[in-house]
Amino acid sequence: MIHPHIDTINNLPWLTRLWRRLTTTTKGPTMIETNPYAPEFTPTVELADGWLACRVCGVATAPTVQHGQDTITSLGREYRGGSPSLRRKAAQEFETTMTRCSACEERRERAVAVNIEHPAGRGQYVADVIANTAVERALAVAAVAETDLKLTSARRVRLAIRYLTTEALGLVWESRFAPVAEAEAHPSTGAALPWSHVPEEGRARARQAVAAFLRALTERPQPTPAPTGGGCYLCGVASVEVVPSRASSAWTEALVSPSSLGGTSTAHRRVSVCRTCADAAEAFGAYGQSAMARLVLEAAGISRKLGIENVRLDPPAWGVMNIEPNPTPWAHIDLDDLREKFETGRVGR
């Protein structure tokens, strides 16, 4: 009986040639080795005429599968060595034309769709182009970690941006060129495979970021009490709800003068302030009546009402009143009364 696979055995040279074709990509007159286990494999390759590197994953992309072209400006190049001529050359600005491969174009379209479906997830990124880039970068980091993100809610989008987006720096191909190009980054090169230019430490960083994102997904807010003083010195709240991974940033220590917060003492004190009040004080540049008035109006739900700019408040900070901590922010102030007075025209307007 003839072995059923005798023809296959006899055609081993042909199969070898077929495998070679499957694991390599034609690049002009030469071949790009795309088998990472091959002895001749190199992470980056020279680009043939018409080929461009994908600005995200870096892969060398043929003209027929390019999605747009973008010009990336490098303000110079990292300088290494002591040659004056090399120093002058490193300071020269140059441009690199890049594209998006099909996979990264799909990733960009997915980012746009995610922001349309979950607009609340973008947080501080109001502009569409910035929000879309933020989500696209988060998806790119997940791709490096070989993980498929399921951004099915605004919370997931928000956490992905928080934990993953910033990690894209140094991973996406274009970050090798802007704002200053790495010493080894050249416009005539691309990655042999998607992300093949990323070293193992970069991949490990991506995996760690994805792990932090997944941990945050399973976390639930927990009461985090004020570290000192019994409550926030301004709004008086005893504790704030925050996920454990963000607990260290829920409170901050501030140096305040009670006299500028409705008290009488002029001696400065170090006190605990909740993150909401601390951010407001930072926006106003100081811990004072302006920041507190804004916070009180927001707590009363009238900070955006027409005519609110005419309201003048001098609310006291909880810390100067020597009373029990508040169950909710600014509970030591009659917010209902303030709201009623504003609505009836007895204050402001």
pLDDT, one tens digit per residue, over 244-283 is: 878 889 999 999 999 999 999 989 999 999 999 999 999 8
Residues 231 and 174 in one domain: no
Mean pLDDT estimate for the chain: 86
Which residues form the domain of 259? 223-343
Q: Which residues neighbour 133 within 8 Å (Cβ) at sequence distance 6 or greater?
A: 111
Rounded Cα distance between 124 and 109, Å, is 21
Are 259 and 342 in contact, with CB atoms under 8 Å apart? no
Q: pLDDT tens-digit profile of 43-88?
A: 999 999 999 999 999 999 999 999 999 999 999 888 776 666 667 7
Q: Please indicate, yes or no, whether residues 233 and 199 belong to a single structural domain of this protein.
A: no
CB burial of 228-266 (b: ≥16 within 10 Å; e: otherwise) equals ebebbbbbbbbbbebbeeeeeebbbebebebeebbbeee
Q: Is the pTM of this model over 0.75?
A: no
CA distances 192 to 32, 107, 220, 301, Å, are 7, 19, 42, 56
Q: Is the pLDDT of residue 341 over 80?
A: yes
**In this structure, is residue 26 part of a structural domain?**
no
Give the Cα separation of 330 and 328 in Å (integer).
6
Instruction: Give the residue among 73, 133, 62, 138 at the shortest CA–CA distance from 99.
Output: 62
pLDDT of residue 24: 44
Query: How much is the average pLDDT of 156-174?
Result: 94
Q: Are residues 177 and 52 in the same domain?
A: yes
Write out the two tokens for 94. Answer: 């140059």
Do the domain assignments include residue 31? Answer: no
Mean pLDDT of 17-35: 51
Q: Are residues 210 and 269 in the same domain?
A: no
Residues 206 and 285 in one domain: no
* pLDDT at residue 23, as a whole number: 41
Q: How sure is the predictor about 199, in pLDDT bands with cuts at 50, 70 and 90?
A: very high
Identify whether 121 is part of a domain: yes
User: Are 143 and 264 in a shared domain?
Assistant: no
The pLDDT score that the predictor gives to residue 2 is 40
Residue 127 or 33, more confident = 127
Q: What is the mean pLDDT of residues 224-249?
A: 92
Q: What is the mean pLDDT of the segment spanning 127-134?
A: 92
- Please check whether residues 209 and 227 belong to one and the same domain: no
Domain total in the chain: 2
